[in-house]
Amino acid sequence: MPDFQSILRTIYNSATSQIEKGRVATYIPELAKIDINNFGICLKIVGGESFGVGSFNTPFSIQSISKVLALAKAIELVGESIWKRIDVEPSGHPFNQLALLEVENGIPRNPFINSGAIVIADILLSNLKDPKTDFLNFVRDLCGVDDINYNTSVALSEKHTGFKNYAAANLLKSFNNLENDVEDVLDFYFHQCSLEMTCSQLSNTFYFLANDGYCLKNKLRLTRSQVKRINALMLTCGFYDEAGEFAFEVGLPGKSGVGGGIVALLPNNFILTTWAPGLNKKGNSLLGMTALEQFTTNTKLSIF
Ligand code: GLN
């Protein structure tokens, strides 16, 4: 087995010496407070050990990474029927773009752009008894720990400035693609995005997607075919208008968030999570993308 700890250390040292670190997201005011110098990497081997460097045990705002977990919960609850309300095509546009949604009659391109994730939030709201608590318990259970929480200041901060998400939700409502009230759906969505987790917790939580649907506790969470579909969507849509670039550079299914996190995985092999809050122009973590590229290039471990 390669010496993963020293591979991660080398990548960490080379990435942190990079002068250009990108920019921390400021459109959610609470996120602007994060120190850009944080950088963590955690590798979890399927059926094996974990390796970590830097701030891999520091909780951060997972933001859009939560969209994968929300999708998994929606599939668990209502199965394939969700695809009547959301498509499975890359958008080729930023995560908060609205134009396509109007042209395509309120059917979001995929569940990882904001409009698609808002429809998923609506599905969870309709099908969970106590949506915020039940979703939190779902994530805690997948991860195997109890100390994962929403950050209500971040959720509130986004509520005050989330004008585009309000626009998307209203547009969806006008096309009859939201069952619940706009306010209720967005309140859930902003909380979902505000979840705080560490790199290490994210690697453990995403374990089931690298392990044919079996989570860390060896419990079957989704079928193999459902897992295949979620991984396919991460590969084609996980990085918005940079999904092609991520597949080209890294060659793994993955999902980013504007908090600076990225989770990527190689089915039946590993889950690799990075956190560096400085973002590139497309809203994806600059150092995270660099680190993941170096990892798959150095180890030759990718799906291609
Ligand atoms: N909560 C953020 C938003 O809706 C999530 C975006 C992201 O992480 N790309 O804008």
Mean pLDDT, residues 146-160: 97
Measured from the Cα of 257, ligand 1's closest atom is 8
CB of 192 closer than 6 angstroms to any ligand 1 atom: no
Nearest to 95 by CA among 287, 283, 288: 283
Is 131:138 a contact under the CB 8 Å cutoff? no
What separation in Å is there between the alpha carbon of 24 and the centre of ligand 1?
13
Gap between the Cα atoms of 8 and 291, Å rounded = 9
CB of 63 closer than 6 angstroms to any ligand 1 atom: yes
Q: What is the pLDDT of residue 96?
A: 87
For the chain, helix (H) and strand (E) counts, in that order, are 13, 8
The domains found in the chain, sorted by start residue, are 4-298 (3.40.710.10)
Amino acid at 226: Q
Nearest to 125 by CA among 55, 34, 192: 192
Return the ∠ at Cα 22 (arms to 20 and 23), rounded to 5°.
140
The answer, yes or no, to whether residue 272 has pLDDT greater than 90, is yes
38-93 residue pLDDT tens: 999 999 999 999 999 999 999 999 999 999 999 999 999 999 999 999 999 999 89
10 exposure class (CB count in 10 Å sphere: 0-12, 13-18, 19+): middle
- Residue 113 DSSP class: S
What separation in Å is there between the alpha carbon of 27 and the centre of ligand 1?
10
Mean pLDDT across the chain, nearest whole number? 96
What separation in Å is there between the alpha carbon of 112 and the centre of ligand 1?
10
Name the band, by pLDDT with cuts 50, 70 and 90, for residue 257.
very high
213-250 residue pLDDT tens: 999 999 999 999 999 999 999 999 999 999 999 999 99
